[in-house]
Amino acid sequence: MGTEVKYQPRVEKIEKIWIPETKLWIPHDSGEIAFAFPAFGPDTYKSAGQDILSKNLKVPTGDCTPSLLYSAYCSDALNEPEFEKVRNIMRSNWLWVFNKNFWTEKGVYVIQDKNAIGRIQLLNVSDLEKALKDGKETNGIRFSKERNLRFAPKGSYNLKDNTPESFAKDGFIIASCGKDGAEKLGEVSTKFKNKPYIDGLEVQEGQEPELRVSAVYEDGDRLRFVGSVWDDYEGSCHAFGVF
């Protein structure tokens, strides 16, 4: 009599496919840009960024974040629930901006961090200057040819309270967000009771440069753009992926 063998089906773990609840289509430059909703986080800069990239999305650099905030605060669609949630995140948490800021004694280099690697990459002024060599200058701010690296000299930025007008023309904000993005954030800042504020680092002559990352949030009923955040900060920080 033969031995009875029972069939055992092979069980494999199937990863859950991530699907956004919706795409937020936002006017951007001369066209549109789509953000994945809801936001990723709260998480650290690198963890949130790597999570976004793992879903085949792009991280939000300073060039695209102002378009999202402008739509959330200044558009005709303010009552849309998605924009209300964007404002809630700004009010009670932070939004990561995937820019790296290399503060030096002569000014700040802003590098778009499209791979969300944060502060692990060693930088030096010589290499950054070579990358800027064939670029262009806009409002005193130098842009590399690919526009993924910018330099704002000392004297072009004001790391304290600003008016909406000075905020929109600030060198660090232009380096972080581009001219159009800076103007959008300047208008966003008028929706708050108090003056907008810019955070950064003042590196004195002879001091070593310092590398940090960026975030934006609402602080005391004012817009606050921060360029001096540690990438391992574990506060309630979120980010919206970009299609």
Tens digit of each residue's pLDDT (9 = 90 or more) over 109-132: 999 999 999 999 889 999 999 999
Residues 57, 143, 137, 203, CA torsion sign: positive
* 15 lies in some domain: no
Q: What is the mean pLDDT of the chain?
A: 93
* 3 lies in some domain: no
Note if the bond before 42 is cis, omega within 30 degrees. yes
Predicted TM-score (pTM) of this structure: 0.92
* 201 lies in some domain: yes
- Cα–Cα distances in angstroms (integers) from residue 134 to residues 116, 151, 190, in the given order: 25, 13, 36
CA–CA distance, 39 with 92 (Å, rounded to integer): 14
The pLDDT of residue 16 is above 70: no
* 16 lies in some domain: no
The pLDDT of residue 17 is above 80: no
Q: What is the structure's pLDDT at 19?
A: 81
* 170 lies in some domain: yes
Residue 97's domain comprises: 22-238
- Of 184, 116, 123, nearest to 151 by C-alpha is 123
% of the chain with per-residue pLDDT over 70: 93
Q: What is the structure's pLDDT at 2?
A: 55
Question: pLDDT (tens digit, 9 = 90+) per residue, 18-75?
Answer: 788 899 999 999 999 999 999 999 999 999 999 999 999 999 999 999 999 999 999 9
Longest dimension (CA), the chain: 93
DSSP E strands, the chain: 22-28, 31-37, 94-103, 107-112, 136-138, 141-143, 149-153, 197-199, 210-218, 223-229, 237-238
* 189 lies in some domain: yes
Domain count, the chain: 1
Q: What is the structure's pLDDT at 124?
A: 95
* 172 lies in some domain: yes
* 6 lies in some domain: no
β-bridge mates for residue 107, sequence order = 153
Length of the chain: 243
